[in-house]
Structure 1
Amino acid sequence: MAERELDGQSFDVVVLGTGLEEAIIASEAAAGGKSVLHIDRNPYYGGAYACFTLSALIEWAVCHRDYRQVPIVEILVNSEGEKQQQKLTDQPTFVIDKNSREIAAAFIAESPAASRASEALHRLAPFATNNTCTEKTDSATTTLLAFLQNDRNYQIELAPKVALCRGRMIDLLIDSGIGEYVQFRGVEHNYLVRDNGVERVPESKEDIFACTTLSLIEKRKLMRVITSVADNEQSRRIVEETGNILFDKLLREKFKLDGKLLDAVLRCVARVGMNENVNAAEGCERIQRYVSSMGRYGRMAYLCGLYGAGSEITQSFCRMCAVSGGTYILSKNVSVQPANDNGGFTISLGSATVQAEKVVMDPTYASTVTSGIVLSRAICILDAPVLGDDTTALATYVDNGGVVSLLYVTQATMAVPKGKSMLYAWVEGGLSENKNLLCHAISATCGTAIPLITLFMETHLLKASSSATADIYFTNGPDATVDLDNAAVAANNIIELLLK
């Protein structure tokens, strides 16, 4: 809609940002009869959940990312291409910081859309690290430019996540009818990764009995955990008897788990992080959700969206909002001011001014923010489908004093071309202290496959500084969990307040 058509209009709700939570809120508010204006300063949908081609990802890193939210982006390139293995720590690294970004962005602004990413690479080359010789950097640049020729075959997510089959997000998609417009496939495997190899986690009774790497005693221990913890009444009684101790202590003392069995249940099934204190009640609940999810859509507990789950779901909610009468505007900076002492807000966007009764916003739209949880992420394109060519898998790396979550995707999710694969890895904490841990996790998982391009970034979950202003609601960014349920719960909490 043109600015002149908006000028002077009033809306029940103005939503700033098109991330997953904002999109859900806008859609549900419009469906609930509210007049909604949905604005994003960026030229794309998805916010922190966006999905890009490789060239668009480079353009995002140079031109569009919010430095408060993503202060660090590094692109590592195997200068040998697909010829031979090269350690990640030895690969030329294109550092996109404030200095290099300003230089590259100036040239991007003057370049045609089709050549923006390649132009940025040429401008970033002088800032490459690990470049012991110009030839090595030139080779890395050539490798990246070759990828850009076919980059539409890659769908790269900023914050990859899956959906629990009996989780809140799947229920929301079904209830809203949006599930008809989003495609999923099952996450077929769950792996435990250590420096000495990759091992599949047996997830059902059938898997446990068929597993050839477990002894009879180990099988009995796992069966006891599944039958006891997955049962509501038994788990309640166990929690009462043990005084609701920490879940890892319960597994060690009550079920006598240790080593890889403990890691498989604690890290791969219950998804407990290294520094996360989860009590027995919550741990049992996580196991129950996991086990109950198996069988709803096949033998798997999780579903993975095609073409990028978070981005596709976000855009589907945005379309549903538009169907319900919502108005959308992209590439528009906005400012928000209280209208008067009686409530409401004045929203300025370009030459137009609109009124809003309530405002929902991504924290990046707040004037002052503080940093919350910090995550280190890696996105690695591999030369071969190391864990299978037509499959999707979750994995957990447990070693070197850390726990790293991993998601493996192939042509099965339309994310990479046939013959290639992509590995996402993330861990809580800053990149300076976790980059080596991520490198270990990637190397242990990919085995003999060659990492061709690896992007590292540090992301901050921003929180708006405390404000006494009523009727402004702040959303959250992608957290460290592997699934989308927290986003669905947080969005629903705000929706209930808006529709009172």
Structure 2
Amino acid sequence: MDDIPPYPPIDPTTFDLIVIGTGLPESIIAAAASTASKSVLHLDPNPFYGSHFSSLPLADLPSFLSSHSTSPSPPGSASSDEHHDFSLLDLSTRPLYSSIDISSFSPDLLDQYSRKFNLDVAGPRVFFCADKSIELILNTGANQYMEFKSIDATFVGDNKGNLLNVPDSRAAIFKDKSLGLMEKNLLMRFFKLVQGHFAGEQDVKISDEDLQSPFVDFLNKMGLPPKIKSFILYAIAMEDYDQEDTGVCGDLLKTKDGINQLALYNASIGRFQNASGALLYPIYGQGELSQAFCRRAAVKGCTYVLRMPVTALLVDKDTGCYKGVRLTSGQDIFSQKLILDPTFKVTLPSGSSPSPPLQAKFPFFSPKDDRGKIVRGICITKASLKPDMSNFLVVYPPRSMFPEQVTSIRLLQIASNLAVCPPGMFVLYISALCNDDDQGKKLIHAVMNTLLTVPPPINSESNASAQSETTESGCAAQDETAESSSTGPSDPGGDPGEGKPTLLWSALYSQELTLGQVDFICSTPMPDGKLNYDDLIDATVKLFKEIYPEDEFFPQTSSENHEHDGDGDGDGDVSLET
């Protein structure tokens, strides 16, 4: 008897909307459309939720990255029968990740705990307590499915391994011992000006001319010294590019936008009862956010099918317009609208001769808006970068590691109390925008070599072109730290006394950046280079409104009362529940 593929038939076969991929933008749109009483079918070829926004076990991350680093051959799709009124367009994935380097320095230790990790594919990420993502979580009730903990602190790092605390409030300024009296007075005066501006105090209101000027020029006008300007621009306003070099700056921040970012940061501090700082991180990892919106969509009637690849799109022979999808099971499902994970690409079947209407519309099926790359790194250690602290953010401003560094580098350390790793271990997420893979890896290696002892890898899976670079970087880092590690224990998982934490495992990879598109087929944006999700949420809301202009995006009913002060439960948990 022939084996029957484990693909269940889907009934009904017609929906208002089909969404392929359970990444964060797709999951939000599925939930919003279901809330607007649309019939939604949500498919994912993966056996898990989250796609490129997921949190994966250590054993699963390498295969996921590798599977999206090459262009597989389009799946074989049967040619359309003549009695049908549609043609088939093959659907496959395009490469998203490149220059993947995965190294294990203590495989025996890590193999014991492989399933105890929840590693963010799109890290580092945090939530500001008052940002758009938290507002969306509260307004939609998705907070019922998530819990958070506060990030302990934010630091600014340098190429000597120093981590300077960021004085992000008046109380923090008073306590900070690294600032001189003059620096404290200047910073206090600046924060008072910003607060007075938003309070509408006429005597301290910032002029319209200043609001439209570059933020760095306004900070210079306020007489702030370089260290304070760096704190404000890169550790509070969270800018990516060197704001003082207009020749390389890809995004010059205006004072109006910089002041708004400072206001967001200030409003985030102490907003929730058990979160003393401005930043939050979800227990079990960032993948919980996609799952929360999938659960919200399911409650509203969305149909979910995982492990279900889609092999082709159905398009009308006469008009070239989208009609539906063909599943790997062979079943055809129809819908009025389609949302695609942007890693999917549409191709003509080999040897096919498309009709003139389809030839005219086919260019619109291709992804657009490529916006460079971001390099990401994940490191696992058995010691914190700061012995007295578990969860914190480190920002390396442009030129802080070496003169050619034109973008900020961000590092987020997360500990086991957030259920992302076994007790006694720590996960470091590092990222930076870059123009190419070599430039990006240089940024990540600079941070790793400054903060960590990198031993020779025992197991390594890398692109051939990058293998020698990884090994050389590891050896260089080991040479640099030989003196500090000479008194350390011989255990490969141990940490060298007063020296740097020893690296147990690392993954480095570059990711393409796309904004998504709205045409005959709609695609969502990929994980961007920002620390939070505000830009992604803006793009997602815009996409929803373009496909459903008559429907409200998550209308809030009178029965939903989402207060902003959550009652924490447990050891510092921020549940955001009312």
Q: Do they superpose with TM above 0.5?
A: yes
Query: TM-score scaled to structure 2, two decimals?
Result: 0.70
Q: Distance in 2 between matches of 1:358 and 1:144?
A: 47
Structure 1 counterpart of 2:257, one-letter code:
E
**In the alignment, is residue 352 of structure 1 matched against residue 331 of structure 2?**
yes
Matching residue within 200, 212, 222 for 1:244: 212
Matching residue within 104, 118, 121 for 1:158: 121
Q: Distance in 1 between matches of 2:392 and 2:258?
A: 22
Structure 2 counterpart of 1:144, one-letter code:
P
Kindly state the Cα deviation for residue 486 of structure 1 after the two structures are TM-superposed.
Answer: 1.9
1:16-66 per-position Cα deviation (integer Å, ceiling 9, x unaligned):
111001001101111210000111122221111111111111222344556
Residues 324 and 333, structure 2, Cα contact 8 Å, conserved in 1: yes
TM-aligned CA distance change 1:388 to 1:10, over 3 Å:
farther
Q: Distance in 1 between matches of 2:515 and 2:25?
A: 15
Look up the match of 1:255: 222
- Aligned-residue sequence identity (percent) comes to 26
Size of the aligned set, in residue pairs, is 431
Kindly state the Cα deviation for residue 369 of structure 1 after the two structures are TM-superposed.
Answer: 3.2
Structure 1 counterpart of 2:304, one-letter code:
Y
1:304-323 per-position Cα deviation (integer Å, ceiling 9, x unaligned):
111112x1010111122122
Matching residue within 472, 496, 500 for 2:545: 496
Residues 425 and 442, structure 1, Cα contact 8 Å, conserved in 2: no
1:281-325 per-position Cα deviation (integer Å, ceiling 9, x unaligned):
11111111111111211331111111112x101011112212211
* Structure 1 residues 26-425: aligned runs within 5 Å: 26-63=30-67, 68-78=95-105, 143-160=106-123, 161-196=125-160, 197-230=162-195, 231-232=197-198, 233=200, 237-242=205-210, 244-252=212-220, 254-274=221-241, 275=249, 276-297=251-272, 298-309=275-286, 311-334=287-310, 335-339=312-316, 341=319, 345-350=323-328, 351-367=330-346, 368-369=366-367, 371-388=370-387, 391-398=390-397, 399=400, 400-401=402-403, 402=405, 403-425=408-430
Kindly state the Cα deviation for residue 6 of structure 1 after the two structures are TM-superposed.
Answer: 2.3
Kindly state the Cα deviation for residue 8 of structure 1 after the two structures are TM-superposed.
Answer: 6.7
Higher percent of residues as helix: 1
Residues 68 and 97, structure 2, Cα contact 8 Å, conserved in 1: no
Structure 1's consecutive aligned runs of 4 or more residues displaced over 6 angstroms after TM superposition are none
Q: Which runs of 5+ in 2 are unaligned?
A: 72-94, 242-248, 347-365, 453-498, 551-578
TM-aligned CA distance change 1:468 to 1:404, over 3 Å:
closer
1:178-201 per-position Cα deviation (integer Å, ceiling 9, x unaligned):
102101011120000011311111
Matching residue within 504, 509, 516 for 1:457: 509
Kindly state the Cα deviation for residue 7 of structure 1 after the two structures are TM-superposed.
Answer: 6.5
SS of residue paired to 1:355: strand
Residues 71 and 459, structure 1, Cα contact 8 Å, conserved in 2: yes
Q: Distance in 1 between matches of 2:168 and 2:159?
A: 22
Q: Distance in 2 between matches of 1:66 and 1:169?
A: 32
Residues 344 and 355, structure 1, Cα contact 8 Å, conserved in 2: no
Matching residue within 9, 13, 20 for 1:16: 20
Structure number with greater Rg is 2
- State the Cα RMSD in Å: 2.4
Matching residue within 429, 441, 455 for 1:435: 441
Kindly state the Cα deviation for residue 341 of structure 1 after the two structures are TM-superposed.
Answer: 3.7
Residues 224 and 255, structure 1, Cα contact 8 Å, conserved in 2: no
Larger mean CA deviation between 207-216 and 231-240 belongs to 231-240
Kindly state the Cα deviation for residue 234 of structure 1 after the two structures are TM-superposed.
Answer: 6.3
Q: Distance in 2 between matches of 1:389 and 1:210?
A: 17
Q: Which runs of 5+ in 1 are unaligned?
A: 79-142
Kindly state the Cα deviation for residue 389 of structure 1 after the two structures are TM-superposed.
Answer: 6.2
SS of residue paired to 1:174: helix
Residues 389 and 410, structure 1, Cα contact 8 Å, conserved in 2: no
Q: Distance in 1 between matches of 2:167 and 2:519?
A: 51
SS of residue paired to 1:218: helix
Larger mean CA deviation between 473-482 and 324-333 belongs to 324-333
TM-aligned CA distance change 1:377 to 1:13, over 3 Å:
same
Residues 157 and 163, structure 2, Cα contact 8 Å, conserved in 1: yes
Kindly state the Cα deviation for residue 344 of structure 1 after the two structures are TM-superposed.
Answer: 5.1
